[in-house]
Amino acid sequence: MAFLLRNISYSADGRQIVRSSRIRDDLLKIGRDPDCDIRLNDLAVALHHASLEQVSPTRVGVSAEAGLTVDIDGSTTQFGQIDVTIGGTVRVGPFQLRLLPQEMGSEDIAIDIERADTGAAEEKFDSSRFALAAVMPGKRPIAWALVLVVLGLFLVWPIWSFYSQERGKAEYAQAFHADRLWLSGSLSRGHAALANNCRACHVQPFVSVRDESCAACHTQVHDHADLARLQRARPNLGGWDRFQLAVQQTFGLDAGRCVDCHTEHEGPQQIPATPQQFCSDCHSDLDARLADTRLGDASDFEDLHPEFQPSVLIRWDGEQPRVQRVSLAQRPREMSNLKFPHALHLNATGGVAQMARRLSAAYGFGQQLECADCHVPTPDGVRFQPPDMEGDCGMCHSLAFEQIDGTIRTLRHGEPRQVVADIRSFYRAGLRQRPDVLGTPRSRPGDVNQIRLAVQQARARSAVGARADQSVRAVFSRGGACFDCHQVVPAPPGTLAYGIRPVAFPVRYMLHGWFDHRPHQAAQRPGQPRIEGSQACASCHRADASSDSADLLIPNVASCRDCHGGETTGLPVESSCAMCHDYHMDEGVPARLLRQQVRGRRWTTTVIPVQPQQAPRAR
Amino acid sequence: MATRGIERTILDDAARHESFLQYRRYRWLKIAALVSLLLVVAYLMIDVQPRHNGGSWLGYALGTLGALLILWLAMLGIRKRAITRGRWSLKAWTSAHVYLGLALIVIATLHTGFQFGWNVHTLAYGLMMLVILSGAYGISVYAVLPQGLSDSRSEMTGPQMIEAVNNLDKQIQGAAQPLSDADSAIVLESLGEDPFGGGAWRRLSGRYPSCANRAALRAMRSRLGEATGKQAAALEQVVTLLERKAAALQRVRGYVQRRALLEIWLYVHVPLTFVLIAALISHIVSVFFYW
């Protein structure tokens, strides 16, 4: 019994080299160790890796050392047997041990030993492995995958969301919709709630935002002017502007839409102030294109602005006050039907000032009357309420005529017939004790003293029965309490039916411009000290120099220009058109000021006629 | 004579190397710089109310210019497959591609009006910037790395470098035969190791923290201190060979790293160009859809 070993190797040029040896033994040791019968020089082989042993005449057992394995005919195992009549292959590390089928009559078992992987790795080497492409996915798969992701997320999904949304539902504006991915910039603060509701404005795909979308919420907005006149008033466009218009129209952007001026998606800002150019484009020479316009040309407040045309109460049609816009240049007179000399009341040294000092404890007057003593601002502080007899005049101009048990009886203001009746009633009661209120060294105008004086005069001239009639006539005549302040309608002959002309004051003179008194409560004209109170009032309204209530004390443009310049100016206040005027002709605060200030209640009353029957007062 | 002079000129022209960056004395650099400057001046001079944005006439003009430029720049991928000479040579085209591509930064940024957000519009802008920056990176590494690329190979070809590693493997195989089973298992790890082992990140960083050769070297060195006699001699030889293999591996990996750094930009530049075009389409459609 012997093993015939054939070591097969190959030279560099591929020639086979065979080294044979014969070992007469039943057991062969296989391993890297030099002591082994079959020495396999490879580190994949253990020093003592396995052993071959003839276990029967026809079978050879193969057993690996503890913890090692061999590969017998393709299956990895620790122990196995090979039929020598058929032969078999044992693989140890990279080596193949081929047991050849035993030849008839021979006792030798032939084993071919050969490295299985000679040079295989080197031949397979591929230079392209140096390139990064060897470990990267292809550029095309990357591109395709990402292209599909982007188109799906940013094109298909938003379009799907547009068509799948139902418009007009409240909860709709709350939830996220994929078309939000298209939001080109934050909406302005006023529209911030629409951020999830693109379809509120973008109603139809590929159709520009229409005014109807704006008007759905903004129901109160006025047009600037008649659309046809607006178009005619537009300045003659240059070639470039016409080209721009043509391009815009080609793309369905019609001129004159709300969004032309009110651009959106410009960030979370407030709508910015309209530049002056926007107005002056048309208004600097409006009469050139609109020959019939009644508006004066205006370009810049400092340079070109028509004189103010306040609404003035110019006359009365019966009981109805007639208000008309008149340029201050025409020096209009105001027909309020009230007699009131401002200068007399504001005089620092006269009787009025003296009375103010005397009544200061009761009414908080100072050394003289101030404007604010009689003029009460509207709740928003923008304008002033019409003066009121009982509250404002009545502090000094008392209508008291009798005191009964400490209660003072007064003539009823605004009710001439009641006045007549009260006086007659007073005298019908017969002779009376002289009232206590008489006897002060200096009487207050319109006070009971005057009435009493008139009564005494009448008593002296005529019989006691006619005393009452005389007193009534006296009250309504020069020197009487009513006559002092009011236009008295004479009584028809033989009657005592005196009348009083109604009184009215415009609360708002500038209907197309905005003036807020609050920022003007303290004034400082260039080069002059800062003034407040009555001084500030009088610096614009020359009440201290007016002795006639028909004087219209509205300041003119020149007065404003002491402080207010144009859009860019060296004067203290830069004043563009939008400071006083609103494009949409709203009667309230111009949008620009509204946005600058806290939104307050709009005070839109224009004229409050004081009716003879009532005197409205809402402090 | 005159004819000869012309020929000589052409010859000189052809003989002198001029990179696509320097093409015709930086003609496209000048054009791109001039265009950018004009657009910046226009942007500053033209008063757009309330603020600059992509929806003004200037914004639309810049956007149209930018979109067309992007499409033209992308055409280089087709154009480069046909190498021609002359005014519209591939070199001229590439030169224009580089400088007009850089000018696109100005054009597109002015188009945005510096308004950015989390939306498809800024996505397109961001992708465009990634494409441009990857291109700029590509040019800069082309300028710097190729020299180091040949240096790192020590005048060897790629297969030669691998052959060197394989030869060392064989020598280690031989030298390690007397080693114990435990030691040989460790050395075998080194022999079985793929020099390229690891993905793109390994290649780009050039760091192979789990390198089996390094582990084997470290283990054999420590074993060397304990061993005596014949074992020690074998171990010493193995350690020397492992050290040489480490150097050979370093050469391969250094080269692979430089190649990776040189080639990675194309994996951004090319696919993202197509993604950019997809985003651009979405951007344009969205603008007109919500007109």
Going from N- to C-terminal start, the domains of chain A cover: 2-121, 387-505
* Residue A70: strand pairing partners: A77
Instruction: Map A276-338 to HEC letters.
Output: HHHHHHHHCCHHHHCCCCCCCCCCECCCECCCCCCEEEEEEECCEEEEEECCHHHCCECCCCE
Please, which residues 455-494 of chain A have a Cβ atom closer than 8 Å to chain B?
none
Segment A278-302 mean pLDDT: 89
Element (H, E) at B25: helix B23-45
Please, which residues 46-65 of chain A have a Cβ atom closer than 8 Å to chain B?
46-47
What is the spatial distance between Cα B276 and Cα B129, in angstroms, rounded to a whole number? 10
Choose the closest CB to A125 out of B49, B159, B187.
B159
Q: Are residues B84 and B184 in the same domain?
A: no
Model confidence at A617: pLDDT above 50: no
Distance between alpha carbon B80 and the CA centroid of its chain, in Å?
17
Residue with more model confidence, A463 or B28: B28
Q: Are residues B272 and B254 in the same domain?
A: no
What residue has token string 């003035």? A312
How many C-beta neighbours within 10 Å does residue A228 have? 8
Q: Are A48 and A33 in contact (CB under 8 A)?
A: yes
Segment B170-197 mean pLDDT: 85
Q: Are residues B260 and B188 in the same domain?
A: yes
Is the CB of B203 less than 8 angstroms away from the CB of A132?
A: yes
Please tell me the predicted confidence (pLDDT) of residue A618.
Answer: 38
How many domains does the structure of chain B reveal? Answer: 2
Say yes or no: B234 contacts chain A, CB-CB below 8 A. Answer: no
Q: Are A314 and A327 in contact (CB under 8 A)?
A: no
Interface residue of A36, A41, A43 to substitute, partner B, most B CBs within 10 Å: A43
pLDDT tens digits along A543-589: 999 999 999 999 999 999 999 999 888 888 888 888 888 888 666 66
Nearest one of A345, A395, A338, A341 to A370, comparing CA atoms = A345
Peptide bond into A492 cis (omega under 30): no
Helix count and strand count (H, E) for chain B: 11, 0
Residue A564 per-residue DSSP state: B
Question: A125: which chain B residues are within 8 Å (Cβ-Cβ)?
Answer: 159, 162
Model confidence at A328: pLDDT above 50: yes
Q: DSSP secondary structure string, B106-147?
A: HHHHHHHTT---SSHHHHHHHHHHHHHHHHHHHHHHHHHHHH
Residue B220 is assigned to a structural domain of this protein: yes
Residue B208 is assigned to a structural domain of this protein: yes
What is the spatial distance between Cα A422 and Cα A472, in angstroms, rounded to a whole number? 9
Say yes or no: A192 contacts chain B, CB-CB below 8 A. Answer: no
Say yes or no: B264 contacts chain A, CB-CB below 8 A. Answer: yes
Residue A302 per-residue DSSP state: T
Say yes or no: B212 contacts chain A, CB-CB below 8 A. Answer: no
Q: Are residues B40 and B124 in the same domain?
A: yes
Please, which residues 11-70 of chain B have a Cβ atom closer than 8 Å to chain A?
49-51, 53-55, 57
Say yes or no: B205 contacts chain A, CB-CB below 8 A. Answer: no
Cα distances (Å, whole numbers) of residue B278 to A150, A247, A440, B76: 7, 27, 98, 18
Question: A205: which chain B residues are within 8 Å (Cβ-Cβ)?
Answer: 289-290
Alpha helices in A411-556 (DSSP H): 416-428, 448-461, 467-476, 481-485, 533-540
Is the CB of A182 less than 8 angstroms away from the CB of B271?
A: no
Peptide bond into A34 cis (omega under 30): no
Say yes or no: A203 contacts chain B, CB-CB below 8 A. Answer: no
Written as six digits, the tokens of A202 are 């973008």
pLDDT tens digits along A451-492: 666 666 555 545 555 778 888 888 888 888 888 889 999 999
Q: Are residues B137 and B43 in the same domain?
A: yes
Interface residue of A184, A249, A257, A281 to substitute, partner B, most B CBs within 10 Å: A184
B11 pLDDT band (50/70/90 cuts)?
A: very low
Amino acid at B289: F
What is the spatial distance between Cα A80 and Cα B244, in angstroms, rounded to a whole number? 41
Question: B51: which chain A residues are within 8 Å (Cβ-Cβ)?
Answer: 266-267
| Phi, psi (deg, nearest 5) at residue A267 | 105, 165
Q: Are residues B218 and B271 in the same domain?
A: no
Question: B258: which chain A residues are within 8 Å (Cβ-Cβ)?
Answer: none
* CATH topology (fold) of A2-121: Tumour Suppressor Smad4 (2.60.200)
How many C-beta neighbours within 10 Å does residue A378 have? 17
User: What ipTM score was computed for the predicted complex, to two decimals?
Assistant: 0.87
Cα angle A574-A577-A583, degrees, rounded to a multiple of 5: 150
Say yes or no: A551 contacts chain B, CB-CB below 8 A. Answer: no
Choose the closest CB to A154 out of B49, B123, B166.
B123
Q: What is the pTM of this model?
A: 0.68
What residue has token string 């950019």? B276
Question: B159: which chain A residues are within 8 Å (Cβ-Cβ)?
Answer: 125, 127
Average pLDDT value over all residues in chain A: 82
* Residue A607: strand pairing partners: A506
Domain boundaries, position B178: 158-264
Q: Are A52 and A43 in contact (CB under 8 A)?
A: no
Please, which residues 75-94 of chain B have a Cβ atom closer than 8 Å to chain A?
none
How many C-beta neighbours within 10 Å does residue B76 have? 18
Q: Are A92 and A50 in contact (CB under 8 A)?
A: yes
Residue B234 is assigned to a structural domain of this protein: yes
Model confidence at B3: pLDDT above 50: no
Cα distances (Å, whole numbers) of residue B186 to A581, B216, B238: 91, 6, 12
Q: Which residue of A has its CA nearest to B50?
A: A272
Q: Which residue of A has its CA nearest to B153?
A: A130
Q: Are residues B110 and B41 in the same domain?
A: yes
Say yes or no: A205 contacts chain B, CB-CB below 8 A. Answer: yes
Nearest one of A476, A479, A517, A521 to A500, comparing CA atoms = A476
> Max alpha carbon distance in chain A (Å)?
185
How many C-beta neighbours within 10 Å does residue B205 have? 13
pLDDT tens digits along A45-90: 888 899 988 888 888 899 998 888 888 888 888 888 888 888 888 8
What is the spatial distance between Cα A35 and Cα A17, in angstroms, rounded to a whole number? 23
Nearest one of A258, A254, A261, A295 to A277, comparing CA atoms = A261
What is the spatial distance between Cα B256 and Cα B153, in angstroms, rounded to a whole number? 10
Say yes or no: B198 contacts chain A, CB-CB below 8 A. Answer: yes
Question: B50: which chain A residues are within 8 Å (Cβ-Cβ)?
Answer: 263, 266, 269, 272
What is the spatial distance between Cα A489 and Cα A240, in angstroms, rounded to a whole number? 68
Nearest one of B124, B102, B92, B111 to B22, comparing CA atoms = B92
For helices B229-289 and B57-74, give the axis angle rounded to 10 degrees: 140
Q: Which residue of A has its CA nearest to B277?
A: A147
pLDDT tens digits along B231-264: 888 888 889 899 999 998 988 888 888 889 889 9
A23 pLDDT band (50/70/90 cuts)?
A: confident
Question: A142: which chain B residues are within 8 Å (Cβ-Cβ)?
Answer: 267, 271
Please tell me the predicted confidence (pLDDT) of residue A604.
Answer: 35
Residue A97 per-residue DSSP state: E
Q: Are residues B129 and B230 in the same domain?
A: no
Model confidence at A289: pLDDT above 80: yes
Most confident region among A404-413, B87-96, B165-174, B276-285 by mean pLDDT? B276-285
Segment B173-193 mean pLDDT: 85
Please tell me the predicted confidence (pLDDT) of residue B154.
Answer: 67
Residue B15 is assigned to a structural domain of this protein: no
Please tell me the predicted confidence (pLDDT) of residue A603.
Answer: 36
Residue with more model confidence, A602 or B229: B229
Say yes or no: B271 contacts chain A, CB-CB below 8 A. Answer: yes
Question: What is the sign of the dihedral through the CA atoms of A297, A301, A304 and A309?
Answer: positive
Is the CB of B287 less than 8 angstroms away from the CB of A184?
A: yes
Residue B125 is assigned to a structural domain of this protein: yes
What is the spatial distance between Cα B93 and Cα B80, in angstroms, rounded to a whole number? 9
Question: A595: which chain B residues are within 8 Å (Cβ-Cβ)?
Answer: none
Q: Are A188 and A264 in contact (CB under 8 A)?
A: yes
A261 pLDDT band (50/70/90 cuts)?
A: confident
Category of B25 on φ-ψ map: left (φ > 0), alpha (ψ -120 to 50) or beta:
left
Residue B187 is assigned to a structural domain of this protein: yes
Q: Which residue of A has its CA nearest to B193?
A: A121
Q: Are residues B127 and B235 in the same domain?
A: no
How far apart are the CA of A153 and the nearest CA of chain B, in angstroms?
9
Element (H, E) at B163: helix B158-175
Residue B141 is assigned to a structural domain of this protein: yes
Q: Are residues B131 and B209 in the same domain?
A: no
Is the CB of B199 less than 8 angstroms away from the CB of A206?
A: no
Q: Which residue of B has its CA nearest to A158?
A: B286
A271 pLDDT band (50/70/90 cuts)?
A: low
Residue B151 is assigned to a structural domain of this protein: no
Q: Are residues B213 and B81 in the same domain?
A: no
Is the CB of A154 less than 8 angstroms away from the CB of B203?
A: no
Is the CB of B54 less than 8 angstroms away from the CB of A142?
A: no
Q: Which residue of A has its CA nearest to B164?
A: A122
Is the CB of A147 less than 8 angstroms away from the CB of B275?
A: yes
Segment B140-161 mean pLDDT: 77
Q: Are residues B221 and B282 in the same domain?
A: no
Please tell me the predicted confidence (pLDDT) of residue A323.
Answer: 86
Distance between alpha carbon A190 and the CA centroid of its chain, in Å?
4
Please, which residues 102-141 of chain B have a Cβ atom closer than 8 Å to chain A?
115, 117, 119-121, 123
Say yes or no: A573 contacts chain B, CB-CB below 8 A. Answer: no
Choose the closest CB to B259 out of A130, A142, A182.
A130
Please, which residues 95-124 of chain A have a Cβ atom closer than 8 Å to chain B?
121-122
Q: Cβ contacts of residue B216 below 8 Å, gap of 6+? A: B186, B187, B189, B190, B242
Element (H, E) at A400: strand A400-404
pLDDT tens digits along A201-256: 898 999 999 988 888 888 877 778 887 888 888 888 888 888 988 898 898 888 87
